[in-house]
Amino acid sequence: MELPVIDLAPYLENSSLDSEIESVCLEVSRTLRETGALLVKDPRCTAEDNDRFIDMMEKYFQQPEEFKRLQERPHLHYQELNSEPVIPEGFPEWKSTMDSWGYKMISAIESVAEMAAIGFGLSKDAFTSLMQQGPHLLAPTGSDLRAYGKEGTVFAGYHYDLNFLTIHGRSRFPGLSIWLRNGRKMEVKVPVGCLLIQAGKQIEWLTAGECMAGMHEVVVTNRTTDAIKRALEQNCSLWRVSSTLFAHMASDAVLKPLGHFSDSPLASKYPPICAGEFVEHELAVINLKGNKGA
């Protein structure tokens, strides 16, 4: 099984909700429900945009360790919740590249959020109205495949995301696997020019578990090592960059089952809580922050 690719262009071009658009919205909600993930093609987010971002991040990750440590924020539990963005010295293109790619990916998330809401039988803005002023986090990761490129090396162990929806541009080195609702593990293949979206814990809360937070991991596989060999032959960077953006609900927005989901027999498992408080609690549970709230 491979994830279907949802083309957002017809939805973006059509202001009215006709049967064809409604059918695509139902596919978005069904795919998120069954797999916790979704591949989309958004004409606003091109392969060139993704390449420009990854090129800059490869250049950044190749910098000395002591330089990169200047951007660490352990006091914010490495989450940067409602904080100022990181801008390292010596990268004049940093802000414009980050802002451009970040805003484009947020736009894609907002469109998918509207489509998912329609597909779930909610109002179009059921999710997006809660996203306004959310502490969205563009947080690329870099993994040094020259040092850690052995098959089986774990870069991100089995986990779910605590935010609403997570979106990734295509990485130059594969390795992400997801678990479907039925428990089956599947390696994700992201086509050129496409984006991967994953369901986080906040959408699970808002749908009373109808859409579960997707479990996933990033591990060096044989497909990763094949990509490493090609990169060596072409003298390309061996830093695996993940251009990941975590979309959050606003910190003061209340997370609770929306609309008809409030009548779900599972609704009591998802009591009302402010999104900011929810994030703080989740960070404590996974030990990214002290024991407060655990």
* Sign (positive or negative) of CA dihedral 281, 282, 285, 291: negative
The pLDDT of residue 283 is 86
d(CA 198, CA 242): 14
Question: pLDDT digit of tens for each residue in the chain (294 aa)?
Answer: 789 999 999 999 987 788 999 999 999 999 999 999 999 999 999 999 999 999 999 999 999 999 988 877 666 655 575 677 778 999 999 999 999 999 999 999 999 999 999 999 999 999 999 999 999 999 999 999 999 999 999 999 999 999 999 999 999 999 999 999 889 999 999 999 999 999 999 999 999 999 999 999 999 999 999 999 999 999 999 999 999 999 999 999 999 999 999 999 999 999 999 999 999 998 887 665 444 433
The pLDDT of residue 293 is 38
| Among the listed residues 264, 165, 280, the one whose alpha carbon sits nearest the alpha carbon of residue 209 | 264
Helix axes 94-119, 47-61, angle to 10 degrees: 130
SS3 (DSSP) at 210: coil
Amino acid, single-letter form, for residue 241: V
The pLDDT of residue 76 is 61
Strand 185-187: give its sheet, edge to edge: 154-159, 216-219, 176-179, 185-187
Answer yes or no: are the C-beta atoms of 117 and 123 closer than 8 Å. yes
Q: Tell me if the domain spanning 5-285 has CATH number 2.60.420.10.
A: no
Entry pTM: 0.91
Determine which helix (DSSP H) or strand (DSSP E) holds 186, and give its type and residue range.
strand 185-187
The pLDDT of residue 291 is 45
d(CA 80, CA 179): 28
d(CA 33, CA 23): 15
SS3 (DSSP) at 217: strand
Q: Which residue has the tokens 């959050």?
A: 248
